[in-house]
A and B are shown apart, each in its own frame.
Chain A
């Protein structure tokens, strides 16, 4: 539809919105809750960074299973919390929860390629020719 017709019938539009007004306050409530959660998890991220997980047996044991040691445990945990926060922003603030497949499709590719970028870089880094000196030293 053109801008023109949108101008003509925006009154009809207002009607449509008036009908939806009942749920608007629910929306606002949801946004405030998500905002509060983001605040809380930011505080949690900061707090977690002061904990030395490498000293806690349970974490040493659990992260050893996936080959993560030392301070890297903190990094992995921090990234998990950050990813959770990002999911909150994406799903509710950016409305990805109810977005159409036209939006999701390119995004899925993007997520895939950006992950490939990260993982393959790490992979490429950690795969030296056997017996050779690693390039960065």
Chain B
């Protein structure tokens, strides 16, 4: 059997091999590629661009929050934004004789909804799951490619179509979706429909508006994710190199495996919900529209009765949405934890502490994540039995999360740590993720959540998990695998500037939000709470300034990363050999950059993933492919 595998892994070296012997043209090689590495890079670059875009939306929102709604944006920024996004989003304001543009309240809703959507579905998941998963995972398991390369391409292009829908939605009448990234009906069913709430006649208009385009974008995004997750699971199950048993699988691959299952089983209910919501918007059905709904527009029009038969349930959307969106939280974090694990093991030069416990924790986490969703819905008037059930499961799910974090912390113990840029990000990940996770525990309780719901406390909690959590992991992963993809290191100096700047400013950004949230500052106050100034002590509203400065500083430091990313492609320090970090996992056993088909020698795995500093070994790392002493070399491929 080992023999067969070796042959397969080595297939591209055969004389009668197929497509690798004629050069692919530019389009097939870099655009419509079926190579998992190229697709991974496509996902990563698209995702990073969206990450920056989504962050820019937030920086503009921070201006209105800090300055109230009446201060124009500095310089020509306002008129530039007004030119791009239009009247609906940016309004003209005058302050102290200075005329300019700033975000309108409606624009705040647009940017808020799109910030969330873009960061989650178009930034982090495409990078952490699809990007790194595609690039690193097949290499780590010693596979020549993904199991279904053409399906892989289809996933990316489905994702790309969804990107087009989302970007296009900014430029239709009324601008993009504005019902929050959660898209709660009944608002999501009626917002932006042409002719307000009572017309279904505009055949083009019902399709080309922010809300409908959001749903269409989500349908394509979900389809891409589903195809991708099928591919990931099949690849990990079927294409592991000989000797790569489940117990030797690098933790990153385990994380991808579990994440793919989460996507596979959690995403379809949201897809069906999105289709139902599309029906509501386009065909006027009432899946999510309750009986007797009355709408006032902008607080002026007398109660208009929407043309819905009623009989639907807004709560149904919340159930279906959170059935996905809670597992989605783990989809966001698990690939990040996987990357951090690889980087910590490599840079502490010692095996991961508690590998098996971590894998077990992953399984428990994944299983429980499917039955905690309604803790996002305590405010919907949930009865005592149901909320007790969901409180219990929510508290239970903190146990595997803590196991993961503890194992990673203990892995640092006694290591001779190499603090390069990826390791700095990985080290910072641990306390940041810890803060994010632990502040979530109070929210699990119904009684506390009723007060905290939709306050800045919640914002701070989940941003600590995903921003200095997953996004730091993404940065760590970029710095760590960049040499494999390009053959050059990213600049260490710029990397350290990026790291320290980001770490400080991200805490300035998010920490005050805990205090604000506990004081009752609500997340949807577009003017930073001016309208509700007497409901919250002034010093908590004043914190908006600190937070905004943190946000803009964070934005500034990302420019360093962007510069570093492109500069190093051409000018970065060249790597001395194919395994510059002296890592053990199989992805470093390829030429740099890896060719189509990945490996030039048969890959056989002989040992566990993290054999660093093995006592008695001559080097402080023993690659997984290194045979034990006395093992005959694998037989040459037979025909």
Contact A128-B265, Cβ < 8 Å, known A2-B11, A116-B370, A116-B371: no
**Contact indicator A136/B383 (Cβ below 8 Å):** no
What total of A-B pairs shows CB separation below 8 Å?
A: 56
Output the least CB separation between B228 and chain A (Å): 16
> Which chain A residues border B382 with CB–CB below 8 Å?
124, 127, 129
A16 located at the interface, meaning its Cβ lies under 8 Å from any Cβ of chain B in the complex: no
CA–CA, A9 and B382, complex, Å: 63
B633 located at the interface, meaning its Cβ lies under 8 Å from any Cβ of chain A in the complex: no
> Which chain A residues border B381 with CB–CB below 8 Å?
128-129, 132, 135
CB-CB contacts of A115-136 with B at 8 A, as 1s and 0s? 0110011011001111010011
**Contact indicator A113/B265 (Cβ below 8 Å):** yes
A67 located at the interface, meaning its Cβ lies under 8 Å from any Cβ of chain B in the complex: no
**Contact indicator A123/B370 (Cβ below 8 Å):** no
Output the least CB separation between B520 and chain A (Å): 23
B77 located at the interface, meaning its Cβ lies under 8 Å from any Cβ of chain A in the complex: no
> Which chain A residues border B237 with CB–CB below 8 Å?
102
**Contact indicator A127/B384 (Cβ below 8 Å):** yes
CB-CB contacts of B264-291 with A at 8 A, as 1s and 0s? 1100010000000000000000000011
Most interface-central of A110, A116, A121, A124 (chain B CB within 10 A): A124
Partner of B386, one of A127, A135, A136: A127
B8 located at the interface, meaning its Cβ lies under 8 Å from any Cβ of chain A in the complex: yes
> Which chain A residues border B261 with CB–CB below 8 Å?
106, 109
> Which chain A residues border B374 with CB–CB below 8 Å?
120, 124
**Contact indicator A121/B319 (Cβ below 8 Å):** yes
CB-CB contacts of B376-417 with A at 8 A, as 1s and 0s? 000011111110010000000000000000000000000000
CA–CA, A110 and B268, complex, Å: 11
Contact A109-B315, Cβ < 8 Å, known A2-B11, A127-B385: no
CA–CA, A4 and B14, complex, Å: 12
B307 located at the interface, meaning its Cβ lies under 8 Å from any Cβ of chain A in the complex: no
User: Quick one: which of B23-68 are within 8 Å of A by CB?
Assistant: none
> Which chain A residues border B384 with CB–CB below 8 Å?
127, 129-130
Output the least CB separation between B1 and chain A (Å): 11
What is the predominant secondary structure among interface residues of chain A facing chain B?
helix
**Contact indicator A127/B383 (Cβ below 8 Å):** yes
Considering the complex, give the chain B residue whose CB is closest to the CB of A102: B237
Output the least CB separation between B551 and chain A (Å): 37
**Contact indicator B319/A124 (Cβ below 8 Å):** yes
A66 located at the interface, meaning its Cβ lies under 8 Å from any Cβ of chain B in the complex: no
> Which chain B residues border A129 with CB–CB below 8 Å?
381-384
A1 located at the interface, meaning its Cβ lies under 8 Å from any Cβ of chain B in the complex: yes
CB-CB contacts of B125-141 with A at 8 A, as 1s and 0s? 00000000000000000
Output the least CB separation between B389 and chain A (Å): 8
User: Quick one: which of B296-320 are within 8 Å of A by CB?
Assistant: 313, 315-316, 319
B198 located at the interface, meaning its Cβ lies under 8 Å from any Cβ of chain A in the complex: no
CA–CA, A116 and B261, complex, Å: 16
CA–CA, A4 and B12, complex, Å: 13
B4 located at the interface, meaning its Cβ lies under 8 Å from any Cβ of chain A in the complex: yes
B254 located at the interface, meaning its Cβ lies under 8 Å from any Cβ of chain A in the complex: no
Contact A136-B265, Cβ < 8 Å, known A127-B384, A129-B383: no
**Contact indicator A124/B386 (Cβ below 8 Å):** yes
B323 located at the interface, meaning its Cβ lies under 8 Å from any Cβ of chain A in the complex: yes
> Which chain B residues border A2 with CB–CB below 8 Å?
7-8, 11
**Contact indicator A136/B290 (Cβ below 8 Å):** yes
Output the least CB separation between B384 and chain A (Å): 7
> Which chain B residues border A136 with CB–CB below 8 Å?
290-291, 313
Considering the complex, give the chain B residue whose CB is closest to the CB of A106: B261
> Which chain B residues border A117 with CB–CB below 8 Å?
269, 323
CA–CA, A52 and B23, complex, Å: 72
CA–CA, A106 and B384, complex, Å: 32
CA–CA, A9 and B170, complex, Å: 57
Considering the complex, give the chain A residue whose CB is closest to the CB of B387: A127
Considering the complex, give the chain B residue whose CB is closest to the CB of A134: B381
CA–CA, A1 and B638, complex, Å: 13
CA–CA, A78 and B540, complex, Å: 59
Output the least CB separation between A64 and chain B (Å): 22
CA–CA, A102 and B316, complex, Å: 33
CB-CB contacts of B593-618 with A at 8 A, as 1s and 0s? 00000000000000000000000000
CA–CA, A105 and B248, complex, Å: 21
**Contact indicator A120/B371 (Cβ below 8 Å):** yes
Output the least CB separation between B428 and chain A (Å): 35
Considering the complex, give the chain A residue whose CB is closest to the CB of B7: A2
> Which chain B residues border A127 with CB–CB below 8 Å?
382-386
Partner of A135, one of B11, B233, B264, B315: B315
**Contact indicator A123/B385 (Cβ below 8 Å):** yes
Most interface-central of B16, B261, B381, B383 (chain A CB within 10 A): B383
Output the least CB separation between B391 and chain A (Å): 14
Considering the complex, give the chain A residue whose CB is closest to the CB of B233: A106
> Which chain B residues border A124 with CB–CB below 8 Å?
315, 319, 374, 382-383, 386
Output the least CB separation between B375 and chain A (Å): 12
> Which chain A residues border B4 with CB–CB below 8 Å?
1
Output the least CB separation between B368 and chain A (Å): 11
Considering the complex, give the chain A residue whose CB is closest to the CB of B292: A137
For the complex with contacts A127-B385, A129-B384, 12 further pairs of A-B residues with Cβ separation under 8 Å are A1-B8, A2-B8, A109-B261, A109-B265, A116-B371, A120-B371, A121-B316, A124-B315, A124-B382, A124-B386, A129-B383, A130-B383
Could you name 24 residue pairs across A and B whose Cβ atoms are closer than 8 Å? A1-B8, A2-B8, A4-B16, A109-B261, A110-B265, A113-B265, A113-B370, A116-B371, A117-B269, A117-B323, A120-B371, A121-B316, A123-B386, A123-B389, A124-B319, A124-B383, A127-B384, A127-B386, A129-B383, A130-B383, A132-B381, A135-B380, A136-B291, A137-B291
